[in-house]
Structure 1
Amino acid sequence: MHIELKRGSRTKLYIQIALTLADRIRSGLIEPGTRLPSVRKLTSDLGVSLVTVSKAYAELEAIQLITCSQGKGCYVRGVQESERSGNIDKMYPVQGNGEKNTPWNWQMALVDYLPRAQLWRHFDTSPQVRYELHMSAIQPELLPTREIIESAYRLSSDHPERMAAYGSFQGDRELRQTFADHFAERGSQVMPERMLITSGTQQGIDLVARTFVGPGDVVYMEAPTYTGAIDVFTSRGAKIITVPMDDEGMRIDLLTRLCDTHPPKLIYTIPTFHNPTGITMSAQRRAQLLNLAQSYHCLILEDDPFSDLYFRAPPPASIKSMDLTGHVVYLKTFSKVLSPGCRVACAIADGSVLTRLVAAKSTADLGSPLLTQKALQSFIQHQYSAYIRQLRDELYTRLSAASAVLEAHAPPGMFWVLPDGGLNLWLQLPDGIDMRELHRHALAAGVSFLPGSACYVGEPDTSNLRICFTVTDMERLCEGLRVLCNVIANEAPLKGGAAADRLPLI
């Protein structure tokens, strides 16, 4: 495996090794039951001392990620899901040294460059989960799937030539014009020539990272933040520095001090209905962040998945709408609120930044599928405005229901703040809860959530979790929250406690 050591860093080498291995274990890239390289082997591979590797393994054992025994080596703790449910144990019995003798053991010798990949790990759940609250998505029954399918069928039947031709690398011109009209209705003037259609926001983040971020480049992010973005920037070898948040978003005062010591290459932010916290950055902070980027000649990557899903008043204008000098790359997804399977989003950028992103897109996939672009274009042009108003009402109804259940069943010491829009609730749990045990017991009870640790760089122990109040129907949402509150109460039966800190419903 590839472990990149920064020998001039203030972080000790054994900590760097331990952190890298911890990321890979938690991401599932090193599977439970896998035997880690011997101390001597890893010492030779990395060019460090035996003591350094021994201390790294001791750190991993202390946080219960691995178990080591004299003469047998160190193994990743836990049992694979596939081993619990299949016949692997019978097919490939464990050897005397405790290692499973499977025909793919040799693969551990293959070097890969994925230091972390949490997104896929928390995307799906096991069949035992009845209440899926972990994934930030909208219940499929609320989406205009039938209309989009009918549109795609008409397009493919009436214009079969579209299935036999490549689309533009930059994206369908008609769709980009429709997006331009969409933004103009919201007070932002954007020409179609400044847009790039991407296969979802995730590809947009990846294109920006692959184009502009290399090993050692400083990337600032909110803490916590979107798991998939952490994965992308970590895979580029970036030096990620996180900035705490308050109720107005990223702390620009702290960011400014950090930039004096570590000048940024890129700042990643989700300023509107932030994922996972739901916080919206104030207009003043947005302007301050743009000024900071201009002074350091760095990029801001503004990720906007939820701005159309407000419950009362529209959020502040995007940072991109204030950008006159090309410092902001703005990502806007439509697949989240229309059709996740279509994977359609757009990036807005200026000058050579856009040119380079289009070039990166061309090498990634030769352009997004034309049929899905055309199918969504028709719906966005003619039906989107009425649809999104109705969807906002429905999502707010579910937030109200979730709030009522939490008020009635949350144990003492549990806190949350109701967001002004978006899909997620960020819960602060009572002190003293073992989050790994809570996650395990919740899954056993049939309810899933996203552990807060997945939303932090380095995955520290945290007493937060994220639930999505829009991913399932109302009955299962309320039932699942009651089950979750009961599991939390059983994990931390605290005496007393303050009432939940929440904003009034709007």
Structure 2
Amino acid sequence: MHIDLDRNAGITLSEQIRSSIVDRIQSGLLLEGEKLPSVRNLAKCLNVSLMTVFHAYELLEQEGMIKRIQGKGTFIQGKTDRFRDRREEGPSMDWQNSVADYLPRAQYWRMMQTPLADVANLSMASLHESLIPTEWISEQLAQHAQLDHTLLTEYGPVQGDGSLREAVLPYFREKGILASPSEIMILNGSQQGIDLVASTFVGPGDTVVLEEPAYPCAIDVMRKRGATVYTIPIDAEGMQVDRLAALCDSRPPKLIYTNPTFQNPTGAVMSARRRAQLLELAQSYGSIILEDDATSDLYFGAEPPPPPIKSMDRHGHVIYLKGISKLISPGCRIGFLIANGTFITRLVSSKGISDLGSPLITQKALLPFFASSQLKKHAPLLREKLKERRDLVLRILNRSAPKGVHWNKPDGGLNIWLSLPPALNADDFHMIALQRGISFLPGHVCFPNQQLFHHLRLSFSYLDARQLEQAVMTLCSLLHDFLRSDRLSQRMMPI
């Protein structure tokens, strides 16, 4: 079993081993009943003492994650059965468990794999089909496929279609980002951009800073690269930059990942003041800021949020990602990356190694969206409909949620961050909700280090209004039962 250990992280090696195994269990990479390496073998593999591994296993056993059976070994146990692959009986492939991989966690995709067919999905931060201009996109795809067969027979440029890179310049200029087409790269969604930046600039032991809580897929990518991940808490103004400044004195980060506008999962917006402070810090310590802008167009007030950090960047410290899945179409898998200097050259080279270029036909299909007035017509209507959905959820929560449960009121985006009393476990509640056909994102997947289990994320964009209303009302009813059962169990505990 491969585990990256950082002996300078300020976290004990036992805790790092424990955390890595927990990540694998919760990701479904280790399934219930699987056998872990012996203490001796894992200690030898990781070049640590027997007591270090013994203590890590002891912690895991106390948490109910593993079970040690005298004379047989150490086995995974617990609630991992909801992730178990339902394979037909066949030839044994147990030998594969001896092959080391470099996937320390893969939380997000497993949480999206619900075992129920008929489920009200409050976990998917994506648009309902009625909010997507499907007919318009279909017409564009058909038209381009008929007029230009080379879109189906030729590879496109690795950096992306030149006409689309030219067409998006006014869109970015309205955000204060003055880029040239040569500084823009077209991606297969912004998630690819996170992975490309990490694979190009982040290696084992490099210090990476994430917000806490953070976008789960960003955590997975940085862990996969073997980075030493530090987290900075979020408040109403976004990342607490003063706490980041204190960290920089001892561990200057190579990369700072931030989702500053309607942050996923909390919906927080980083203030203009803190955006400027963050850029100043990056300039002082020679750090890269990876600015992930997924939902800045989806604001519910009269005024847009503060301009991107990239709009203030004059020395190339900010790599800016703009995905359009939350704005136009998740299925088209289009995103944009903007970087300056040698960064864009290196990232284009990295993309060439990765995929040889994004599909041209979807780029051509979306070109008129930016080259015409289509986007200016679509965005205000989308904002209005999303605001209606947000307000619907907030009304139900205000009317029906039990006391002790708290939530935010996001000014944009797709999500509401909800907190249970700290003693309760949203993962346990998730199992109950799934049995009633309700899915949400348990918040623990958004914490890369010390996981907190009493939060959850509700997405209000994926269901139609009727389904959304029913799902949230059912969720509130289940919350009442969940809190009532917890109070009852506490009263019945022996003194």
- Using the size of structure 2 for normalisation, the TM-score is 0.94
The answer to whether 1:435 aligns with 2:388 is no
Count how many residue pairs are aligned between Structure 1 and Structure 2.
483
Alignment of 1:12-411 (within 5 A): 12-77=12-77, 78=79, 80-81=81-82, 88=88, 91=89, 103-312=92-301, 313-382=303-372, 383-411=374-402
Q: C-alpha separation between the residues in 1 aligned to 2:84 and 2:262?
A: 39
Q: 1:294 to 1:79 in 2, by over 3 A?
A: closer
Q: 1:299 to 1:83 in 2, by over 3 A?
A: closer
Q: C-alpha separation between the residues in 1 aligned to 2:87 and 2:338?
A: 50
Q: C-alpha separation between the residues in 2 aligned to 1:87 and 1:115?
A: 23
2:493 maps to what in 1? Answer: none
1:407-429 residue CA offsets vs partner (Å, 9 max, x unmatched) = 11110011112111100000111
8 A Cα contact 2:255 2:287, kept in partner: yes
* C-alpha deviation, 1:37, in angstroms: 1.5
1:500 maps to what in 2? Answer: none
Q: C-alpha separation between the residues in 1 aligned to 2:83 and 2:202?
A: 36
Q: C-alpha separation between the residues in 2 aligned to 1:178 and 1:477?
A: 36
* C-alpha deviation, 1:79, in angstroms: 5.6
User: What SS does structure 2 have at the residue aligned with 1:426?
Assistant: strand
User: What SS does structure 2 have at the residue aligned with 1:171?
Assistant: coil
User: What SS does structure 2 have at the residue aligned with 1:300?
Assistant: strand
Q: 1:320 to 1:490 in 2, by over 3 A?
A: same
Given residue 166 of structure 2, which amino acid in structure 1 is its aligned partner? Answer: Q
User: What SS does structure 2 have at the residue aligned with 1:492?
Assistant: helix
Given residue 295 of structure 2, which amino acid in structure 1 is its aligned partner? Answer: F
Q: 1:347 to 1:259 in 2, by over 3 A?
A: same
2:482 maps to what in 1? Answer: 491
For the aligned residue pairs, the C-alpha RMSD in angstroms reads: 1.8
User: What SS does structure 1 have at the residue aligned with 2:333?
Assistant: coil
Q: C-alpha separation between the residues in 2 aligned to 1:10 and 1:191?
A: 43
Q: C-alpha separation between the residues in 2 aligned to 1:87 and 1:358?
A: 39
Q: C-alpha separation between the residues in 2 aligned to 1:239 and 1:24?
A: 17
8 A Cα contact 1:5 1:16, kept in partner: yes
User: What SS does structure 2 have at the residue aligned with 1:489?
Assistant: helix
Q: C-alpha separation between the residues in 1 aligned to 2:294 and 2:262?
A: 9
8 A Cα contact 1:24 1:116, kept in partner: yes
User: Is there any run of 5+ residues in structure 2 with no aligned partner, and where?
Assistant: 488-495
2:443 maps to what in 1? Answer: 452
Deviates more, 1:368-377 or 1:485-494: 485-494
User: What SS does structure 2 have at the residue aligned with 1:113?
Assistant: coil
1:99 maps to what in 2? Answer: none
Deviates more, 1:485-494 or 1:132-141: 485-494
* C-alpha deviation, 1:201, in angstroms: 0.7
Q: Identity rate of aligned residues, in percent?
A: 46
1:11 maps to what in 2? Answer: 11
Q: C-alpha separation between the residues in 2 aligned to 1:13 and 1:186?
A: 45
8 A Cα contact 1:278 1:421, kept in partner: yes
Q: 1:443 to 1:246 in 2, by over 3 A?
A: same
Q: C-alpha separation between the residues in 1 aligned to 2:251 and 2:324?
A: 35
8 A Cα contact 1:428 1:464, kept in partner: yes
User: What SS does structure 2 have at the residue aligned with 1:457?
Assistant: coil
Q: C-alpha separation between the residues in 1 aligned to 2:311 and 2:137?
A: 30
User: What SS does structure 1 have at the residue aligned with 2:35?
Assistant: coil
* C-alpha deviation, 1:83, in angstroms: 6.3
The structure 1 residue matched to 2:471, chosen from 455, 480, 491, is: 480
Q: C-alpha separation between the residues in 2 aligned to 1:329 and 1:197?
A: 13
* C-alpha deviation, 1:12, in angstroms: 2.4
1:26-52 residue CA offsets vs partner (Å, 9 max, x unmatched) = 111112221112223223322333332
1:398-450 residue CA offsets vs partner (Å, 9 max, x unmatched) = 11111111011110011112111100000111242122321111111111111
Deviates more, 1:189-198 or 1:463-472: 189-198
* C-alpha deviation, 1:466, in angstroms: 0.3
1:121-148 residue CA offsets vs partner (Å, 9 max, x unmatched) = 1223222552100111111221012211
8 A Cα contact 2:259 2:292, kept in partner: yes
Q: 1:420 to 1:107 in 2, by over 3 A?
A: same
User: What SS does structure 1 have at the residue aligned with 2:67?
Assistant: strand
Given residue 278 of structure 1, which amino acid in structure 2 is its aligned partner? Answer: G
Q: C-alpha separation between the residues in 2 aligned to 1:336 and 1:32?
A: 35
Q: C-alpha separation between the residues in 2 aligned to 1:435 and 1:465?
A: 6
Q: C-alpha separation between the residues in 1 aligned to 2:473 and 2:122?
A: 12
User: What SS does structure 2 have at the residue aligned with 1:419?
Assistant: coil
8 A Cα contact 1:145 1:338, kept in partner: no
Q: 1:432 to 1:9 in 2, by over 3 A?
A: closer
8 A Cα contact 2:14 2:52, kept in partner: yes
Deviates more, 1:363-372 or 1:114-123: 114-123
Q: C-alpha separation between the residues in 1 aligned to 2:35 and 2:109?
A: 23
User: What SS does structure 2 have at the residue aligned with 1:437?
Assistant: helix
The answer to whether 1:425 aligns with 2:416 is yes
Deviates more, 1:318-327 or 1:126-135: 126-135
2:461 maps to what in 1? Answer: 470
1:272-301 residue CA offsets vs partner (Å, 9 max, x unmatched) = 011000011111111111111111111100
8 A Cα contact 1:33 1:79, kept in partner: no
Deviates more, 1:454-463 or 1:22-31: 454-463
Deviates more, 1:449-458 or 1:431-440: 431-440
